[in-house]
Structure 1
Amino acid sequence: MSHILHLDSSPRGSRSTSRALTKEFVTSWLQRHPGDRVTYRDVGQYPVSPIDEAWIAASFSKSEDLAPNLIDALRISDELIDELWVADRYVFGVPMYNFSVPANFKAYIDQIVRVNRTFTQDWRGLVTNKKILIITTRGGSYSNDASSKQLDFQEPYLRTVFGFIGVTDITFIHAENLTMGDEARARSLTTAQTAIQSLTATW
Structure 2
Amino acid sequence: MQFLPALISLLAYLSFATRIAASSHGADPSPLSKVFIMKKEMDYSQGSLHVFASDGTIVYRFLRTIQDPITGFTTVFLESSPSKAFFVYLQSPNSLCGHKTNYTQLDAPGARKMQFTIEPNNFRKDKWSFSYVDGTGTQQNFKFDRNYASQEGEIRHQINGQDGNLVAELRNQKRTDSWLTTSSESEVDTYTLSCTADSPQVELILLMGLVISRVHDCGS
Please say whether Structure 1 and Structure 2 have the same fold, judged by a TM-score greater than 0.5.
no
TM-score, structure 1 normalization: 0.29
Greater RCO (Cα-Cα under 8 Å, separation 6 or more)? 1
Larger Rg: 2
Q: Name the one with the larger strand percent.
A: 2
